[in-house]
Amino acid sequence: MNKQRYLLDYTLRLADDALIIGHRLSEWCGHGPVLEQDIALTNTSLDHLGRARTLYQYAAEQFNRLPQGEKKNAFTSVAIQNLVASGENLGEDDLAYLRDGWDFRNMLLLEQPNIDWAYTIARSFFYDTFNYFFFQHLAGCKDESLAAVAEKSLKEVTYHLRWSSEWVVRLGDGTSESHQRMQHAVNELWAYTGELFVMNDTDKIMLQEGTGVDIEAIKPLWMQRVSAVFEEATINTPTGTWMQQGGKEGRHTEQLGYILAELQFMQRAYPGMAW
Amino acid sequence: MTVHSFQEHFDSLIDRELTIEPRDWMPDDYRKTLIRQISQHAHSEIVGMLPEGNWITRAPSLRRKAVLLAKVQDEAGHGLYLYSAAETLGVTRDELYDQLHTGKAKYSSIFNYPTLTWADMGAIGWLVDGAAIMNQVPLCRTSYGPYARAMVRVCKEESFHQRQGFEIMLTLSKGTEIQKKLAQDAFNRWWWPSLMMFGPPDAESPHTEQSVRWRIKRLTNDELRQKFVDVTVEQAKVLGLEVPDKDLKWNEERGHFDFGAINWDEFWNVVKGNGPCNKQRLETRKKAWEDGKWVRDAAMAHAEKRKAKKDAVKAA
């Protein structure tokens, strides 16, 4: 792969992360435990979806500039290959709705199901903490478009992190039931947190280029923050070290296929129409 | 003041088109009627999140997904304003939820119809929100202050919702044959239930007369329904859709459209619980509430722990 392709891969990963978590959070709309929290969670979902759109637009621009031969092989998607063959440019929706799971680059953590409020909070808390440090670094990167996204996202993610941290504490140090549920969710999702800091080829090349973030360097900051909140919440930090990974390379859990089956239904059943 | 003079004062506020505020004296029936009407309205917003929420995960584009999500979130916000307005009358949100969950309180029957295709998102915005606006705009001048003020905010957002619904329909009607078919199918299914949203005919509406006198209602069911038909038929022309009513005809003399007979038997059956989704909607709401209990308990327990710690620090 050349540098352009790595940048595309990097941009798409960030877009896929945002879309998949935004989609998961949107599943809560109308089903929240308290009306005010239903509204708060929807706000956060909208922030993620907004970021996904900007990033997909940027990814589409990059894709459309690739030489024809590279475009053809970029994704294993009949629908996208047909668009490329007919000389059409891709847009944000094509990238979100026409790729299959193996071309999605989101981290496994984000596709995990809502299950209950504790799982939802734990998943968001891990991701929000990561984002909080990640976007601080990305805001200073050489790529102006990504830096601008990071700048805007920082304001949002600061709020997201405050919200999810408060809930970890509330549930952890609430009733015995909520404590047990919170601890359980943290334990179950822990194995998906390792991937947040795995530097694959894309990460390494982007870092060399001055575009990417050194995510290994974020790990201790993340750990420190998570531990501090867990301590206040009387939650034990899991000791398990076996970590699941593969999302960044397109090897997902079984969850993603079902998300896409729902998310992409309209574009698959009624292809090529404007909505 | 005697009860008699309290009543006179209340009547004079009503007659002078002034608002009644939470601390003002009001007749018991006025309070009861308002609690019933405002809570029904609040419940309708919350239950109304479900049929549209049904399509958030399947919206056909990222833009539509975000707009729909924001729209359903607005409904939650409306529910919040309205529950708060009802609370000023001396009833708690939990009590009102309980009335909803036990079937004692009603909500708008329209939400007991299913959303079967994406076009239903257009039809609901255009027709259901359109009908809701007709019902609600007059309530911005209703006699009870907190309700009137909540309605001003609700109506502003509803008119945005209606535009987004109409825009979905317009996009479909300018699209492929299949998209036009989707639009017409949704119109066919939502037209009659939308007309029913204005409630039973005036002759059979038990509360109308008193409510109009109290300015809790400002126009009768039939007046509002006619207004809705007149406006919507013109909009359907713009969309190139056919109104599913063979008796629809412009009546020169009345200056209004005549329309066919509404199936009130269906209406009363849906009100009674026999609509296609009554059970499902209520079960979904109950499940959200019951599943959320441990979360609310935790938040409460944590807040108490916090307070106890703070008090201990103060005492030391």
DSSP string covering chain A: --HHHHHHHHHHHHHHHHHHHHHHHHTTTT--SSHHHHHHHHHHHHHHHHHHHHHHHHHHHHHHHS-HHHHHHH---HHHHHHHHTTPPP-HHHHHHS--GGG----HHHHS---SHHHHHHHHHHHHHHHHHHHHHHTTSS-HHHHHHHHHHHHHHHHHHHHHHHHHHHHHTS-HHHHHHHHHHHHHHHTTSGGGG---HHHHHHHHTT-S--HHHHHHHHHHHHHHHHHHTT-PPP--------GGGT---THHHHHHHHHTHHHHHSTT---
Tell me what the mean pLDDT of segment A106-134 comes to. 98
Distinct helix (H) and strand (E) counts, chain B: 13, 2
- Hey, is B176 helix, strand or coil? coil
Question: Which CA distances in Å does B67 have to A116, A259, B63?
Answer: 25, 19, 6
- For residue A259, the model assigns a pLDDT of 98
Residues of B in contact with A266 (CB under 8 A): 58-60, 118
**pLDDT over 80 at B206, yes or no:** no
The answer to whether B177 faces chain A, any CB pair under 8 Å, is no
Q: Please state, in angstroms and rounded to a whole number, the distance separating the CA atoms of residues B110 and B266.
A: 12
- Residue in the block written with tokens 């001055």: A210
- For residue B254, the model assigns a pLDDT of 96
Tell me what the mean pLDDT of segment B8-21 comes to. 91
**pLDDT over 90 at B216, yes or no:** no
- Hey, is B144 helix, strand or coil? strand
- For residue A240, the model assigns a pLDDT of 81
Q: Is the Cβ pair A97, B61 closer than 8 Å? A: yes
The answer to whether B84 faces chain A, any CB pair under 8 Å, is no
The answer to whether A32 faces chain B, any CB pair under 8 Å, is yes
Distance of residue A31 Cα from the nearest chain B Cα, in angstroms: 5
**pLDDT over 70 at B98, yes or no:** yes
Residues of A in contact with B61 (CB under 8 A): 93, 97, 275
The answer to whether A176 faces chain B, any CB pair under 8 Å, is no
Tell me what the mean pLDDT of segment B296-313 comes to. 95
Residues of A in contact with B301 (CB under 8 A): 174-175, 178
Interface test with A, best of B44, B61, B68 (most A CBs within 10 A): B61
- Hey, is B104 helix, strand or coil? coil
Tell me what the mean pLDDT of segment B213-242 comes to. 93
Q: Please state, in angstroms and rounded to a whole number, the distance separating the CA atoms of residues B192 and B198.
A: 11
Reported confidence tier of residue B211, pLDDT bands at 50, 70, 90: confident
Residues of A in contact with B291 (CB under 8 A): 31, 33, 116
User: What residue in A sits closest to B289 (Cα-Cα)?
Assistant: A33
Tell me what the mean pLDDT of segment B268-285 comes to. 95
DSSP state of B256: E
Reported confidence tier of residue A230, pLDDT bands at 50, 70, 90: very high
Percent of chain B at pLDDT above 70? Answer: 100
The answer to whether A269 faces chain B, any CB pair under 8 Å, is no
The answer to whether A113 faces chain B, any CB pair under 8 Å, is no
- Residue in the block written with tokens 């015995």: A176
Interface test with A, best of B54, B65, B173 (most A CBs within 10 A): B65
Q: Is the Cβ pair B66, A39 closer than 8 Å? A: no
The answer to whether B248 faces chain A, any CB pair under 8 Å, is no
Q: Please state, in angstroms and rounded to a whole number, the distance separating the CA atoms of residues A112 and A126.
A: 12
Would A169 be classed as within a structural domain? yes
Would A75 be classed as within a structural domain? yes
Rg (CA), chain B: 22
Residue from B255, B217, B297 nearest B14 by CA: B217
Q: Is the Cβ pair A42, B175 closer than 8 Å? A: no
- For residue B152, the model assigns a pLDDT of 93
Distance of residue A1 Cα from the nearest chain B Cα, in angstroms: 29
- For residue B1, the model assigns a pLDDT of 61
Q: Is the Cβ pair B298, A29 closer than 8 Å? A: no
Q: Is the Cβ pair A39, B57 closer than 8 Å? A: no
Reported confidence tier of residue B316, pLDDT bands at 50, 70, 90: confident
Reported confidence tier of residue A55, pLDDT bands at 50, 70, 90: very high
Q: Please state, in angstroms and rounded to a whole number, the distance separating the CA atoms of residues A157 and B186.
A: 39
Count A/B contacts: CB-CB distance under 8 Å: 137
pLDDT digits (tens, 9 = 90+) for B140-164: 999 999 999 999 999 999 999 999 9
- For residue A25, the model assigns a pLDDT of 98
Would A275 be classed as within a structural domain? no
- Residue in the block written with tokens 């009407």: B37
**pLDDT over 80 at B259, yes or no:** yes
Would A91 be classed as within a structural domain? yes
User: What residue in A sits closest to B119 (Cα-Cα)?
Assistant: A275
Tell me what the mean pLDDT of segment B56-72 comes to. 98
Tell me what the mean pLDDT of segment B35-62 comes to. 97
Exposed, middle or buried, A97 (CB in 10 Å: 0-12/13-18/19+)? buried
Residues of B in contact with A99 (CB under 8 A): none
Smallest Cβ distance to A263: which of B57, B79, B292?
A: B57
**pLDDT over 80 at B2, yes or no:** no
The answer to whether B28 faces chain A, any CB pair under 8 Å, is no
The answer to whether A91 faces chain B, any CB pair under 8 Å, is no
Would A67 be classed as within a structural domain? yes
Would A264 be classed as within a structural domain? yes
The answer to whether A180 faces chain B, any CB pair under 8 Å, is no
pLDDT digits (tens, 9 = 90+) for A150-193: 999 999 999 999 999 999 999 999 999 999 999 999 999 999 99
pLDDT digits (tens, 9 = 90+) for A71-100: 998 999 999 999 999 999 999 999 999 999
Distance of residue A84 Cα from the nearest chain B Cα, in angstroms: 20
- For residue B257, the model assigns a pLDDT of 98
Smallest Cβ distance to A53: which of B49, B62, B288?
A: B62
Distance of residue B175 Cα from the nearest chain A Cα, in angstroms: 7
Would A115 be classed as within a structural domain? yes
Residues of A in contact with B63 (CB under 8 A): 53
Tell me what the mean pLDDT of segment B50-66 comes to. 98
Exposed, middle or buried, A2 (CB in 10 Å: 0-12/13-18/19+)? exposed
Domain with A20, as residue range(s), is 3-269
Please answer whether residues A210 and A142 qualify as being in contact, where contact means their C-beta atoms are separated by less than 8 angstroms. yes
CATH code, domain with A207: 1.20.1260.10
Q: Whole-model pTM? A: 0.96
Domain count of the fold of chain A: 1
Exposed, middle or buried, A67 (CB in 10 Å: 0-12/13-18/19+)? exposed
Tell me what the mean pLDDT of segment A225-252 comes to. 96
Reported confidence tier of residue B215, pLDDT bands at 50, 70, 90: confident
Would A274 be classed as within a structural domain? no
Please answer whether residues B286 and A31 qualify as being in contact, where contact means their C-beta atoms are separated by less than 8 angstroms. no
Tell me what the mean pLDDT of segment B69-80 comes to. 96
- Residue in the block written with tokens 């239904």: A265
More confident residue, B203 or A6: A6
Provide the residue type at A130 as one letter. F
Percent of chain A at pLDDT above 90? Answer: 97
The answer to whether A31 faces chain B, any CB pair under 8 Å, is yes
Percent of chain A at pLDDT above 70? Answer: 100
Please answer whether residues A207 and A146 qualify as being in contact, where contact means their C-beta atoms are separated by less than 8 angstroms. no
Please answer whether residues B139 and B148 qualify as being in contact, where contact means their C-beta atoms are separated by less than 8 angstroms. yes
**pLDDT over 90 at B249, yes or no:** yes
Mean pLDDT of chain A: 97
The answer to whether A163 faces chain B, any CB pair under 8 Å, is no
**pLDDT over 80 at A1, yes or no:** no
